[in-house]
Amino acid sequence: MNVFLLIAAVVLSFIGVMHTVLAEWKGERRLVRRITQARLLDSSDAEDLLAKRIVRLAWHATSLTWCGIAAALAYLSFAEQTESLKTVVRILGSTFLLHSVVSLVIARGKHPSWYLFLIVSVFCFLGTGPLSR
């Protein structure tokens, strides 16, 4: 069992679940609701209504994608450590490193996603190195 990949999977699952839960949570901070109720989208216009639904779909599809990748990492944590597997995990590690950098730059460090994605990335890379055996 590769504990590093399992940790990456758990952290990524947490990110995915919290991304969805906090987006719809009660209170002023409901980001998805704030976006879909913005004045530039008219609730009576069919195209604007579709745009609101697409924003919500894209938001939650992102969460589902992260949870799906987390499930794949959990599965890979129990698989034989082949070079192909390591390459796939390094690609995922690079992807989440990029997630981290983009989040850090765009939100100027004020959103916690940057360090959570960094943790996922680091554990992906640790899971492909000599310590993972």
Nearest to 57 by CA among 28, 30, 32, 27: 32
Q: Would you list the domain boundaries of the chain?
A: 3-132
Q: What is the reported pLDDT for 26?
A: 59
pLDDT above 90 covers what percent of the chain?
A: 57
pTM of the model: 0.83
For residue range 41-65, list pLDDT tens digits in order. Answer: 566 667 767 877 788 888 889 999 9
Q: Where residue 131 falls among pLDDT bands split at 50, 70, 90? A: low
pLDDT above 70 covers what percent of the chain?
A: 82
Cβ within 8 Å of residue 26, ≥6 positions away: none
- Angle at alpha carbon of residue 117, lines to 97 and 2, rounded to 5°: 90
CB 37 within 8 A of CB 85: no
